[in-house]
A = this chain, B = another copy of it.
Amino acid sequence: MNETEFVIEPGRQDIVVKRVFDASPDVVFQAFTDPKLIPNWWGPRRYSTVVDRAEVHSGGAWRFINRDAEGNDYGFHGVYHEVAAPQRIVQTFEFEGMPRHVALETATFEEVDGKTRYVGTSVFQSVEDRDGMVQSGMEEGSRETMDRLAEVVATL
């Protein structure tokens, strides 16, 4: 299985996640955006994911919920600035457990030798917000999410 790479440089406000998926951008984009598929990969495995809102078009809104085994809900929401299938998504991101800390996320899907090179960049409002996200265990969660996404892609 391909490895997920992270670029997290000291003093910067961003986190970059890279991964190669063994399918075309059309397929990866479908897995990434289809509200029926999102619960199968979005977030760590220990949560179930509920898609509360997924208006996957420029100007639309999204809200997903991670639910743990005890029934606790963790909400996330944002708006889509741009959805350009199958190349690019630009959206905002806010974890409702830490309100008023918003990130700008850019996902790009590039075809390379029949595979898809995914690059996800999250830019935070401050270095402190970025560092807090890293310390919260984001890297482990993101790696698991990317592995799950690869599994969904493999089924399409």
Contact = CB atoms under 8 A, between A and B. Distances in A.
A88 B61 CA distance: 19
Copies in the complex: 2
Interface in A109-153: 121, 123-127
Interface stretch (A29-37, A43-51, A74-82): A74-82
Nearest to A100: B88
9 contacts: A13-B13, A14-B126, A79-B81, A81-B102, A88-B100, A90-B92, A102-B104, A102-B106, A123-B124
A45 to B, nearest CB: 28
Contacts of A106: 102, 125
Interface size class of A (residues with CB under 8 A): 20 to 34
Contact of A121 (B82, B94, B125): B125
Contact of A80 (B11, B79, B82): B79
Given A79-B80, A81-B92, A125 B125 contact: no
Interface in A12-52: 12-14
Given A14-B126, A59-B79, A81-B94, 15 more contacts: A12-B12, A13-B13, A13-B14, A59-B61, A79-B80, A79-B81, A79-B92, A82-B94, A82-B100, A90-B92, A92-B92, A92-B104, A103-B104, A106-B125, A121-B125
